Amino acid sequence: MSFMLLISVLIIFSTIQSVLGVGLLVFGTPTLLIMGFSFEETLSIVLPASICISLLQVIEPQKSGKSFRKEFNLFCLPFVFLGVYYVLLNEKNIDLSIYVGGMLFISGAIRLSSKLTTILSSFIFQYRKLYQVILGLVHGLTNMGGGLLTLFSSSIHSGDKNSTRAGVAYGYLLMGVIQYGMLLFFHPEFISIKIVLYVLIAAVSYLLFGKRLYVNTQEKLFHNSVTAIILFYGCVLIFR
């Protein structure tokens, strides 16, 4: 893949993540894998950019609740660590794609109905600790927990645009730091000046395009976009 094409991929998905909270990992991971990058190479490209955007979003005034963060730290992050450790230690990716994709597709379809959305939110509330454990494992093993994280944050924050994105940004930031730290520990060869380039591309995309688009995105459009990203992500995982 040409260098300019890689830059274009980063700009597009950085802008999407700036608006929706997810994009670089959800879309960037399968895109780069399809284009011939290894799983480890893909992580080394998308993680620095994703961490940068999530950090910029987290330091903004709109934030998720402290209870959300405390519970997420306790029940999700340890399993992200375990998942990444297992994958990198064995130097292979665990293919949970069809199962995760099916779950996301069903979840996205449910979100199309306000009545079913209420039922789903109640389910997540009832089993939220177990859900976060599964989220951590799935993301650690496959780098594809973005749809699950978006669904969780949207349900916990009742679909509120600012709180949903803030929750996703917080989760992505800490999960990304864990993943990236372990990646560099197992593969120090990925430490290079290119990291700075990926971060700069993400930051510029966020400040010039993504932030402005997010401010002008209406609540309903944001909800529909979240639903669309979950459905699309599910289809990509099922049929790739």
Helix, strand or coil, per DSSP, at residue 205: helix
Residue with tokens 């990509």: 236
Q: What is the mean pLDDT of residues 197-207?
A: 93
pLDDT in tens, 62-87: 666 677 888 999 999 999 999 999 98
Average pLDDT, the chain: 84
Ramachandran angles phi, psi of 45, nearest 5°: -95, -50
**pTM given for the model:** 0.84
pLDDT for res 98: 74
pLDDT in tens, 148-197: 888 888 888 876 777 888 898 999 999 999 999 999 999 999 999 999 99
The runs of H, that is alpha helices, within 59-210 are 66-75, 77-90, 97-111, 114-126, 128-142, 146-156, 161-186, 194-205
Which is higher by pLDDT, 48 or 209?
Answer: 48
Residues 100/149, Cβ–Cβ less than 8 Å: no
CA–CA gap between residue 120 and residue 125 (Å, rounded): 9
pLDDT for res 187: 92
Q: What is the mean pLDDT of residues 188-212?
A: 90
* 3-7, 42-46, 100-104, 232-236, range with the lowest pLDDT: 100-104
Decide if pLDDT at 37 tops 80: yes
CA–CA gap between residue 189 and residue 174 (Å, rounded): 23
Integer angstrom CA distances of residue 126 from 76, 113, 135, 139, 153: 16, 20, 15, 21, 14
With a CB cutoff of 8 Å and minimum separation 6, the contacts of 105 are 230, 231, 234, 235, 238
Helix, strand or coil, per DSSP, at residue 21: coil
The identity of residue 36, as a single letter, is G
pLDDT band for position 95 (50/70/90)? Answer: low
Integer angstrom CA distances of residue 54 from 9, 21, 127: 18, 8, 26
Decide if pLDDT at 118 tops 80: no
| CA dihedral sign, ordered 30, 35, 36, 41 | negative
Residue 17's Cβ-count burial label (10 Å; 0-12, 13-18, 19+) is buried
pLDDT for res 80: 96
pLDDT for res 123: 80
pLDDT in tens, 130-142: 999 999 998 998 8
pLDDT band for position 217 (50/70/90)? Answer: low
Q: What is the mean pLDDT of residues 92-113?
A: 71
Residue 2's Cβ-count burial label (10 Å; 0-12, 13-18, 19+) is exposed
